[in-house]
A = this chain, B = another copy of it.
Amino acid sequence: MNIGEIAKRAGVSRSTVSYALSGKRPVSTATARRINEVIAELGYRPNASARALAEGRTRTLGLVIPPASRRLTNAQLGFVASVVEAAATHDLDVLLSPSGGDHDRSFERMVTGRRVDGVILMEILLDDPRVVRLRQSALPFVTIGHVEHPGASWWVDVDYAALVRRCVHHLADLGHEHVVLVSRSPELVAAGYGPAARATDAFLAAAAQRGLSGHVVCCADEPAAGLAGFEEIHTTWPEVTAAVTINEAALPGLERALHRAGLDVPSDFSVTGVIADRLAEDFHPPLTAADVPAEEMARLAVELLMERIADPGATPRHALLEPPISLRSSTGALRRPQF
C-alpha cells in the first residue's frame, strides 16, 4: 500500500495526498477529510526510505557509542537513553553505532551512507579520530565532551576542571592537607579521555595552589577496582584524609573499602567529586558532589545538532556546564590528631 493507492481511493492525485500529509500546500477541507478517512481506514504511513530519498533528509540522528565489549558504564548508558528520549521529543529517530572496536564499518556506514541527518558523539578523547573523520565529512555533528582544541565546533560538556578545582578548594577549606583524585581506568587515561585528563590537571594545579599534597589513582570502571584503588591509597599514602572522585562505577568499592578500613565518613575521611546526583545520594553517607546532568546534556546536544542541521553555516555553539556542588554529608573538617 502506498500513496498512489490512497490517492486512487480518495479520488485525488498523489501530490494532493502528499500535500494533505505535509501541510505544505493548502488543501480544501472536503478533500482533506476524504483523504484522512482513507488514510485512517487503511492505516497508511509513508515509506520512510522513499521520503528520505525524495526529501534529502532522514529525520534520523546517529548516536555513536563505545563498543559494548568495553563494557559500558551506567553513565554512558544513561546518555544513550537520554539522547533517544530527547530526540523522540522532536520526532527524530536514533540510529546507534558502536565504534572504536571492530565495528568501524558501522561508523563508516553512518558517516557516509546518508542514513542520518547528523551525528552525536560521546566519550570524546582529547584527540579523537572520530571527530577528525566527521570533520572531513559534510555531516553535521555535535560532541558530548570536547576535544583538546575544539576551535569553532559544536559541543556540550561538563566543566570537569572547574568542578574538580572547586572540590579541592572545598577540601582545603576544611583543613585537609593530603588529598587524592580517584580517576578513571588507566586505559582510558592513556587513550586521552578528556574528563580524566582535565580533572587530573586541575586537581594537581589546585592542590599545588593551596599547598596540599595531591596524588592521583586510576581505577577501572567497576566496584572491585574502587576497593583495590582505595586500599592502594591507604597503604601508599596513609596521610591522605580526603578524596575527589570522578569514577562513578568504582563508588561502591570505595564505600566498602572505607568501611573495611574502619574509616568513618566524614569524620575520618572526606569524599567528594563529580558524580551523578542519583549515585551521590546512594552513597553512604550521601555524597557532597557536583552532578553530571546527563539528561540536560543530551537535550542540549540534540538541540544544538538540530540547529546545526537546519543551518550548516551557523556560527558554532557550545555549552560548558558547571553544575553546583551539592553539599551533602560526605565531607567534614579534618580531625587533627590529639596531642
Interface: A261 (CB within 8 A): no
**Distance A93 CA – B47 CA, assembled complex (angstroms):** 18
Assess whether B77 is in contact with A109, with CB atoms less than 8 Å apart: no
The smallest C-beta distance from A209 to any residue of chain B, in angstroms, reads: 36
Which of A60-68, A182-190, A314-322 forms contacts with chain B?
A60-68
Assess whether B68 is in contact with A85, with CB atoms less than 8 Å apart: yes
Interface: A58 (CB within 8 A): yes
Assess whether A49 is in contact with B115, with CB atoms less than 8 Å apart: yes
Q: Assuming the A-B contacts A47-B113, A113-B45, A256-B284, are A84 and B105 also in contact, with contact meaning beta carbons closer than 8 angstroms in the complex?
A: no
Assess whether B95 is in contact with A93, with CB atoms less than 8 Å apart: yes
Interface: A313 (CB within 8 A): no
Encoded as 1 (CB less than 8 Å from any B CB) or 0, chain A from 103 to 117 comes to 101101110111100
Residues of B with C-beta under 8 A to A311: none
The smallest C-beta distance from A103 to any residue of chain B, in angstroms, reads: 4
Residues of A with Cβ closer than 8 Å to B?
A: 43, 45-50, 52-53, 58, 60, 63, 65, 67-69, 72, 74, 77-78, 80-82, 84-85, 88-89, 91, 93-98, 103, 105-106, 108-110, 112-115, 222-224, 252-253, 256, 281-282, 284, 295
Q: Assuming the A-B contacts A53-B47, A68-B84, A84-B98, are A105 and B91 also in contact, with contact meaning beta carbons closer than 8 angstroms in the complex?
A: yes
The smallest C-beta distance from A330 to any residue of chain B, in angstroms, reads: 15
Residues of B with C-beta under 8 A to A252: 252, 282
Q: Assuming the A-B contacts A65-B81, A88-B103, are A49 and B45 also in contact, with contact meaning beta carbons closer than 8 angstroms in the complex?
A: no
Residues of B with C-beta under 8 A to A113: 45-48
Residues of B with C-beta under 8 A to A88: 97-98, 103, 105-106
User: Could you pull out 23 A-B pairs where Cβ atoms are within 8 angstroms?
Assistant: A45-B109, A45-B112, A47-B113, A48-B113, A49-B53, A49-B114, A50-B53, A53-B53, A63-B96, A65-B81, A65-B84, A67-B85, A68-B81, A72-B77, A84-B96, A84-B98, A88-B97, A88-B103, A88-B105, A91-B106, A91-B109, A95-B96, A224-B282
